[in-house]
């Protein structure tokens, strides 16, 4: 890279890190959401179960 | 109606003298801090003076933005204003004008005194005062939008500065630029006319924008 | 047959549509990225003046263009959301902001890294770099305002107002910074127009611009879907979707 390697790779590496970071942020935001839903779902199931048994 | 709200706000401001003075003393202290940090060397201070005075004016007027609507918001008069048949933009214009009278004008009057502290030549002082006279109302008007948006938010004070400072930058550039142009012996009237243009544009648009943000905040 | 435009304006149907579109755009952007990088690094010649350092242009210019373009798109959707009270457009504006801020940061970072070998300093108060920095502050202001307001409806509307006020101010800020820059130390060494570019350099850069378009669409749709899920968590269609495990 003609002596400019640090600058060229420095910028490319940071760019791809930002892109990867953004994608990871979205996917774990989605994962926490799914955990929430399954949690709510379990609560609903237990409620319906208690109602039917009691 | 317009007069009523200005009289009312001035009356409120007069009752709490401390608000007016705190902003003014904040301005004085910030401006006096710089020579202590940069060193007493005169022509360094002279070149820095316009920038320092303008940034201090920006921060001082921004400090008191929070109180522009919050007192009325807390005791409910803001809702009455929203419901009143009067146009809300006029009310907001009146409030911004009152805010300018309370915070902007003292800064303008105090600027020449501080200019002497920075050994500014007299005509530069005049240009500084004129630029501040034109610029500070713009700060209050644009600040009204920020204050209306962050009404009742926790940490609203810091948020207002984040929202509003980028929008102050053109006024800052031409305000400090006018004084610098004058000190460099170049024509400075272009700068002043531009700040005048900002003033006219913000008089027309800012109250409308602030009114709609009030409606959003109070819905 | 009348196309029912408003079918996709309801979050539920848009969610499914976006779900189908995201993989398509991801695929296109990856393809374009590979081609662009290949052209950029192997086909384009070394610049006679800047040597290899100019290869940063292949991400700096697309990022800068994207950051400005995305702000205008964000303000557009925010304006639509404010005017027509359509929740989906405001959600879309909220989804755009982080990607726009990221591109602004990348533009500033790569600009600094490119400036170091070329101008000798990390940061030059060049007019465009400065207005890019101010654009970054506008993005941060929008996002922090929306984060500070709990009620989503008010956050959307308040964000819309600050985005619209911001978009009106962008030209004013740009020209005042331009004037300020030429006023002070004269026109500093600024990359006022891209150096006479060999065609391969230009094509490489344009491919990268397209790649960044596709990437932005994919990421924004992806984030929009998550925002829809967050805001519509109480609705029946989300619960039913979750049961089917097709979330």
Taking all residues of chain C, what is their mean pLDDT, rounded to a whole number? Answer: 85
The pLDDT > 90 percentage for chain C reads 42
Dihedral over Cα of C75, C77, C80, C86: its sign: negative
Whole-angstrom CA distances from C92 to C30, C53, C147 are 23, 37, 15
B160 class by beta-carbon count within 10 Å (0-12 exposed, 13-18 middle, 19+ buried):
buried
Question: How far is B196 from B206, CA to CA, in rounded Å?
Answer: 15
- For chains B and C, count residue pairs whose Cβ atoms are closer than 8 Å: 71
Q: Is the pLDDT of residue C1 over 60?
A: no
Q: Which residue in chain A is spatially nearest to C49 when comparing CA positions?
A: A2
Over residues B46-101, the pLDDT tens digits come to 888 999 999 999 999 888 888 888 888 888 888 888 888 888 888 899 889 988 98
Question: How far is B51 from C33, CA to CA, in rounded Å?
Answer: 45
Q: What is the pTM of this model?
A: 0.89
Confirm whether C15 is domain-assigned.
no
Alpha helix ranges (H) inside chain C: 11-38, 57-84, 87-119, 127-148, 152-183, 199-231, 236-243
Provide the domain limits for residue C152: 23-188+198-244
Over residues B147-171, the pLDDT tens digits come to 999 988 887 788 999 999 999 999 9
Q: Is the pLDDT of residue C221 over 70?
A: yes
Confirm whether C5 is domain-assigned.
no
The pLDDT > 70 percentage for chain B reads 100
Over residues B170-201, the pLDDT tens digits come to 999 999 999 988 988 888 888 999 999 999 99
**C11-38 and C199-231 are packed helices; what angle lies between their axes, rounded to 10 degrees?**
160
Side-chain-side CA neighbours of C138 within 13 Å: the count stands at 32
Sorted by sequence, the CB contacts under 8 Å of residue C188 that are 6+ apart come out as C124, C125, C126, C181
CB atoms within 10 A of CB B34: 20
**Interchain CB contact of A32 with C (< 8 Å):** no
Contact state of C229 with A30 under an 8 Å Cβ cutoff = yes
Chains A and B touch (3+ CB pairs under 8 A): no
Q: Is the pLDDT of residue C100 over 90?
A: yes
What is the domain count for chain C?
1
The SS3 of residue C237 is helix
- Mean pLDDT across B116-136: 91
Residue with tokens 């600050």: C162
Q: Is the pLDDT of residue C192 over 50?
A: no
pLDDT score recorded for residue B171: 93
Q: Which two tokens stand for residue B157?
A: 């004070």
- Mean pLDDT across A27-40: 86
Q: Which two tokens stand for residue B121?
A: 């030549």
Residue with tokens 């207005």: C131
pLDDT score recorded for residue A54: 53
- From chain C, pick out residues whose CB is under 8 angstroms from the CB of A2: 46, 51-53
The SS3 of residue C125 is coil
pLDDT score recorded for residue A42: 80
Best to test chain B binding among C85, C133, C145, C178 (most B CBs inside 10 Å): C145
pLDDT score recorded for residue C186: 41
Confirm whether C170 is domain-assigned.
yes
C191 class by beta-carbon count within 10 Å (0-12 exposed, 13-18 middle, 19+ buried):
middle
pLDDT score recorded for residue B163: 92
**Interchain CB contact of C158 with B (< 8 Å):** yes
The SS3 of residue B166 is helix
Q: Is the pLDDT of residue C4 over 80?
A: no
- From chain A, pick out residues whose CB is under 8 angstroms from the CB of C229: 30, 33
A52: distance to nearest CA of chain C, Å? 20
pLDDT score recorded for residue C196: 56
Q: Is the pLDDT of residue C188 over 80?
A: no
Confirm whether C105 is domain-assigned.
yes
**B156-183 and C127-148 are packed helices; what angle lies between their axes, rounded to 10 degrees?**
160
- From chain B, pick out residues whose CB is under 8 angstroms from the CB of C179: 173, 177
pLDDT score recorded for residue C183: 60
- Mean pLDDT across C175-197: 60
pLDDT score recorded for residue B132: 94
CB atoms within 10 A of CB B50: 26
Contact state of C169 with B170 under an 8 Å Cβ cutoff = yes
Confirm whether C6 is domain-assigned.
no
- Cα dihedral B15/B19/B22/B26 (nearest 10): -150
Ranges B40-49, B179-188, C159-168, C192-201: which has the least confidence: C192-201
Residue C96 contacts residue C73 (beta carbons within 8 Å): yes
Confirm whether C4 is domain-assigned.
no
Sorted by sequence, the CB contacts under 8 Å of residue C181 that are 6+ apart come out as C125, C126, C127, C130, C187, C188, C190
Q: Give C246's pLDDT tier (boundaries 50, 70, 90).
A: low
Confirm whether C7 is domain-assigned.
no
Q: Which of B59, C219, B48, B101 is nearest to A18 (CA)?
A: C219
**Interchain CB contact of B209 with C (< 8 Å):** yes
Whole-angstrom CA distances from B17 to A48, B13, B53, B164, C216 are 64, 6, 23, 26, 53
C137: distance to nearest CA of chain B, Å? 7
pLDDT score recorded for residue A35: 86
Q: Give C205's pLDDT tier (boundaries 50, 70, 90).
A: confident
**Interchain CB contact of A45 with C (< 8 Å):** no
Q: Is the pLDDT of residue B35 over 80?
A: yes
ipTM of this complex prediction, to 2 decimal places: 0.88
Q: Is the pLDDT of residue C215 over 50?
A: yes
- Mean pLDDT across C150-174: 91
Q: Is the pLDDT of residue C189 over 50?
A: no
The SS3 of residue C116 is helix
Taking all residues of chain B, what is their mean pLDDT, rounded to a whole number? Answer: 89
- Mean pLDDT across C51-55: 77
Q: Which of A15, A18, A3 is nearest to C118 (CA)?
A: A3
Sorted by sequence, the CB contacts under 8 Å of residue C51 that are 6+ apart come out as A2, A3, A4
Residue C202 contacts residue C107 (beta carbons within 8 Å): no
Q: Which of C96, C133, C114 is nearest to C60 (CA)?
A: C114
Q: Which of C111, C98, C101 is nearest to C60 (CA)?
A: C111
Question: How far is B53 from B178, CA to CA, in rounded Å?
Answer: 13
Q: Which residue in chain C is spatially nearest to B162 when comparing CA positions?
A: C141
Best to test chain C binding among B51, B148, B169 (most C CBs inside 10 Å): B169
B48: distance to nearest CA of chain C, Å? 13
- From chain A, pick out residues whose CB is under 8 angstroms from the CB of C247: 33-34, 37
pLDDT score recorded for residue C190: 45
- For chains A and C, count residue pairs whose Cβ atoms are closer than 8 Å: 79
Rounded to a whole number of angstroms, the CA Rg of chain C reads 21
Question: How far is B203 from B93, CA to CA, in rounded Å?
Answer: 8
Chains that touch C (3 or more CB pairs under 8 A): A, B
Confirm whether C108 is domain-assigned.
yes
CB atoms within 10 A of CB B37: 6
- Mean pLDDT across A2-31: 88
Q: Give B206's pLDDT tier (boundaries 50, 70, 90).
A: very high
């Amino acid at each position: 890279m003609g002596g400019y390697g640090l600058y060229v790779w420095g910028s490319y590496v940071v760019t791809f890190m930002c892109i990867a970071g953004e994608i990871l942020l979205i996917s774990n935001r989605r994962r926490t959401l799914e955990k929430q839903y399954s949690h709510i779902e379990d609560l609903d199931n237990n409620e319906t179960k208690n109602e039917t048994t009691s | 109606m317009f007069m009523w709200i200005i009289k009312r706000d001035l009356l409120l401001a007069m009752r709490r003298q401390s608000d007016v003075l705190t902003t003014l003393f904040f301005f004085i202290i910030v401006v006096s801090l710089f020579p202590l940090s940069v060193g007493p060397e005169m022509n360094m201070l002279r070149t820095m003076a316009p920038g320092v005075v303008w940034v201090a004016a920006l921060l001082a007027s921004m400090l008191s933005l929070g109180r522009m609507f919050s007192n009325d918001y807390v005791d409910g008069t803001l809702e009455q204003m929203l419901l009143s048949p009067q146009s809300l933009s006029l009310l907001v214009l009146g409030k911004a004008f009152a805010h300018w009278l309370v915070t902007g004008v003292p800064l303008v009057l105090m600027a020449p005194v501080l200019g002497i502290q920075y050994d500014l030549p007299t005509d530069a002082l005049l240009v500084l005062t004129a630029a501040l006279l034109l610029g500070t109302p713009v700060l209050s008007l644009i600040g009204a939008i920020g204050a209306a948006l962050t009404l009742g938010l926790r940490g609203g004070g810091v948020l207002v500065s984040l929202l509003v400072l980028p929008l102050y930058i053109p006024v800052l550039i031409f305000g400090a630029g006018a004084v610098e142009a004058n000190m460099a012996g170049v024509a400075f009237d272009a700068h002043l006319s531009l700040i005048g243009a900002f003033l006219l544009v913000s008089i027309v648009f800012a109250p409308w924008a602030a009114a709609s943000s009030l409606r959003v905040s109070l819905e | 047959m009348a196309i029912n435009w408003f079918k996709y304006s309801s979050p539920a149907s848009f969610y499914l549509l976006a779900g189908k579109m995201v993989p398509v755009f991801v695929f296109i952007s990856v393809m374009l990225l590979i081609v662009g990088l290949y052209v950029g690094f192997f086909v384009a010649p070394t610049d006679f003046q800047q040597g290899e350092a100019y290869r940063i242009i292949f991400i700096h210019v697309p990022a800068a263009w994207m950051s400005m373009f995305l702000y205008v798109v964000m303000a557009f959707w925010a304006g639509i959301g404010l005017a027509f009270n359509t929740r989906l457009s405001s959600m879309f504006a909220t989804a755009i902001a982080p990607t726009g801020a990221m591109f602004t940061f990348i533009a500033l970072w790569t600009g600094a890294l490119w400036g170091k070998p070329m101008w000798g300093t990390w940061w030059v108060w060049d007019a465009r770099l400065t207005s890019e920095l101010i654009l970054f502050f506008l993005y941060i202001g929008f996002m922090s305002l929306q984060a500070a307001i709990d009620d989503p409806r008010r956050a959307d509307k308040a964000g819309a107002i600050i985005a619209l006020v911001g978009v009106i101010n962008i030209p004013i800020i740009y020209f005042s910074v331009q004037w300020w820059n030429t006023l002070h130390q004269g026109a500093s060494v600024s990359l006022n127009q891209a150096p006479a570019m060999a065609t391969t350099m230009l094509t490489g850069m344009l491919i990268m611009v397209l790649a960044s378009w596709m990437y932005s669409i994919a990421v924004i749709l992806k984030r929009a879907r998550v925002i829809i899920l967050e805001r519509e968590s109480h609705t029946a269609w989300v619960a039913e979707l979750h049961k089917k495990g097709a979330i």
